[in-house]
Structure 1
Amino acid sequence: MRRPTLNPVERRLEAALSIDELREVAMRTTPRAVFDYVDGAADAEVTARRNREAFEAVALVPEYLSPVDHPDLSTRLFGREISMPLIFAPTGYTRMMHHEGEAAVARVAARHGLPYTLSTVGTSTVEEVAAAAPGGEHWFQLYLTRDERLNAELLDRAQAAGFTTVVLTVDTPVAARHLKDIRNGLTIPPSLTLRTLLGMARYPSWVLNKLTTAPITFASLSSMTNGAIDAVRVADVVFEPTLNYEHLARLRANWPHRLLVKGILSPRDARRVVKAGADGVIVSNHGGRQLDRTPATLAMLPEIRDELGPDATVILDSGVRHGQDILIAVALGADAVMIGRAYLYGLMAGGERGVERAVTILREEYARSLQLLGLKSSAAIARHHVRTP
């Protein structure tokens, strides 16, 4: 008989054998409005579905009689080895999902030798993330705001905190419409409904943690209003409808380290941003949270890789829920993938322990898939190992 696990959080996490099952745990343990914020997407959520359907449509082609005992999961990114082709994507409002927030995620990333990306609209500062995971590789996702002073401040603080990479997000000229969030009142500014408040009250532990820990703010943007966040002003400044290549050129001139551009879906845009000085691109449709009805990122990945050639850095974002998804993305041209919802489900399900569980699940799935394909390492993955529709 297996010894029972008495701790309820650990018991729930042990029982979750996949990211989809972690999602189910998160749904049961988190207020519905908060879960909907993570799980939902823009408008009819067509793009979010396409992202998953694109992965599910791919077939894997194994090479048998090639036994693999201990596959090497590591890969090299920007000349540095990471433990597997996985990067933690930036997410906003992270401490709303769980009071441990970005610090918990950064600690897990550091333990696994993986980069973590802090969002401009995160709920922890660059200094707090650096202190929480001093040995980690930290990236900073930048919304290039209309406030040049604020832009300079964000870059200076990220550099001083030891962040190695800036990720410029370009697919948010305006905020998209999330129907679930509108119904729940999780808008800017908030307009909470009675149903939302009653739903939150059903989760007393979540409420208690929010009441007994530091207030949730846009931590990196606190200087905008002398420490008191004005949500309307944040939205007005962060979303920049005039963002263009001149902004990218100025950012390149002012940031001395690696610069990636996130939100690329067309080969032409990929070529132009690299020519403008970006060190690589992140093929992303914001997880379906911005423009709906765009192509799945996996569908565009091979074209973008072919356009940029073998030496450019290409990272895939959006839709990754399984270790096999990582393998498929690498086979089709990605150097690594980003995960967002996958680790947020873990965070909601169990804080830092839940994020750890999410990474463990993905790592085990990825390693097992390499073995079943007959591949000794991540470097051995090639395009002939997959078949696309």
Structure 2
Amino acid sequence: MLEDESPEFPVSYEDLEERAREDLSEEAFAYVAGGAGSESTVAANDRAFDAWQIVPRIMRDVSDRDLSVELFGREYPSPVMLAPIGVQSILHDEAELAVARAASALEVPMICSSVSSYSMEDVADELGESPGWFQLYWSSDRDVAASFLERAEDAGYEAVVVTLDTPKMGWRERDIELGYLPFLEGEGLTNYFEDPAFRDRLEGDYPRGNEEAAIASWHECFGDASLTWDDLAWLESQTDLPVIIKGVLHPDDAREAVERGVDGMIVSNHGGRQVDGAIPALDALPDIVDAVEDATDADRDVPVLFDSGIRRGSDVVRAVALGADAVLLGRPYALGLGIGGEDGVRAVLENLLADLDLTVGLSGCASLDEIERSTIRRAER
């Protein structure tokens, strides 16, 4: 219900970004808002949604709407999840803890990053009974990777998201021009510094006693550019949790992933942060959904999730219409965290969920199952 006073936090993404530009340090804002190279992929992600138009239907009973979705045997109240975003301490002192509390209050699943500012265990404690997944950056040190997986399972996370498009970090011009990479200051490395396998790599005592050496060791083992499909079997053998791979953009990779036994995948170009000029994630989505359907046996379900460019409820509807089982929200909640901590994140989520609920109903749909490809059409150019 509208009230006589303006909301505390911006409602539109554009205003949210502008407010964050004013409130955050130049370095923090650039790190979150920026992308690879000329940032053409960031812009292309946004334009890709404009290429699809919703075709609303009328005279349908939409008085009650069901936005729930089932993934890996669990029902979630909406198809929206919080994407893994690292080093959130550059945005707010309470970082992932504030995000976890907001997510828990609204029953929105949160995916905790490997490079979180608080440990995965502390984030899980804040989530409580609310669902959480853990995102793994696959370390070149297998002992560290296995330890992360074991800790995530012990902490109560319900799935593992393995980000495969970041064996190395992309060419990010804003960060380079500012000479800024927060990890080199020890930000976002708590999971490593508190990990027994990582600490075994170091000489001496607790990493914070010699942070410079610990950061150098992290830099050596962060990613693994030598990984191939044959390595997936090792990772899957290390955990009983569902394994979801993130960063799929080519249908042949989707087919290979199904054949290799992955439990799900996320269509993503890392929000335009890895490859300048990469295909918009939304453009890749339909072909990947079709490829997964063709490669999957009738008795097996391999959910396809979508990430990169979700800003509003209409974006969620268009992604679902193109075959996504759920979507990941990234930059908007990070900006909300930066300008208002837990309250800022909560406001962003409340606005998105309300917008989604209205858009679903006004499109003539009473549930996500009724959103299909005929719900949208290509815009005439």
Structure-1-length-normalised TM-score? 0.88
Distance 1:69 1:3, change over 3 A: same
> C-alpha deviations, 1:128-164, integer Å up to 9, x for none?
0111121121111111111122112111111110111
Question: Does structure 1 residue 313 correspond to structure 2 residue 297?
Answer: no
Question: Does structure 1 residue 338 correspond to structure 2 residue 322?
Answer: no
CA distance in 2, matches of 1:141, 1:67: 39
CA distance in 2, matches of 1:137, 1:227: 31
Unaligned 5+ residue runs, structure 2? none
- The alignment partner of 2:191 has SS state of helix
The ranges of structure 1 where at least 4 consecutive aligned residues each deviate by more than 6 angstroms after the TM superposition are none
CA distance in 2, matches of 1:80, 1:45: 37
- The alignment partner of 1:109 has SS state of helix
Structure-2-length-normalised TM-score? 0.90
Question: Does structure 1 residue 260 correspond to structure 2 residue 250?
Answer: no
Number of aligned pairs?
Answer: 359
Deviation at 1:253, TM superposition (A): 1.1
Superposed, which structure 2 residues align to 1:11-160 within 5 Å? 12-13=8-9, 16-160=10-154
Select the residue among 291, 294, 314 that pairs with 1:324: 314
Q: Which residue identity lines up with residue 269 of structure 2 in the other structure? A: N
Mean CA deviation greater in 242-251 or 223-232: 223-232
Instruction: Give yes or no for contact 2:87–2:116 (8 Å, CA) kept in 1.
Output: yes
CA distance in 1, matches of 2:364, 2:147: 49
Deviation at 1:173, TM superposition (A): 2.0
Q: Which residue identity lines up with residue 288 of structure 1 in the other structure? A: G
CA distance in 2, matches of 1:166, 1:107: 20
Q: Which residue identity lines up with residue 279 of structure 1 in the other structure? A: D
- The alignment partner of 2:345 has SS state of helix
Mean CA deviation greater in 356-365 or 236-245: 236-245
Instruction: Give yes or no for contact 1:188–1:235 (8 Å, CA) kept in 2.
Output: no
1:375 is aligned to 365
Deviation at 1:69, TM superposition (A): 2.2
Instruction: Give yes or no for contact 2:170–2:275 (8 Å, CA) kept in 1.
Output: yes
Deviation at 1:293, TM superposition (A): 1.0
Percent identity, aligned pairs only, is 36
Q: Which residue identity lines up with residue 303 of structure 1 in the other structure? A: D
Superposed, which structure 2 residues align to 1:183-332 within 5 Å? 183-187=177-181, 190=184, 216-222=187-193, 223=195, 224=198, 225=202, 226-228=206-208, 229=211, 230-309=214-293, 311-332=301-322
Deviation at 1:114, TM superposition (A): 2.2
> C-alpha deviations, 1:266-315, integer Å up to 9, x for none?
11101111211210110011001011111111101110111111842000
1:362 is aligned to 352
Q: Which residue identity lines up with residue 266 of structure 2 in the other structure? A: I
Deviation at 1:189, TM superposition (A): 6.7
Question: Does structure 1 residue 350 correspond to structure 2 residue 344?
Answer: no
RMSD (Å), alpha carbons: 1.9
Distance 1:217 1:368, change over 3 A: closer
Deviation at 1:106, TM superposition (A): 1.5
Instruction: Give yes or no for contact 1:20–1:321 (8 Å, CA) kept in 2.
Output: no
CA distance in 2, matches of 1:262, 1:173: 12
Instruction: Give yes or no for contact 1:188–1:232 (8 Å, CA) kept in 2.
Output: no
Q: Which residue identity lines up with residue 322 of structure 2 in the other structure? A: L
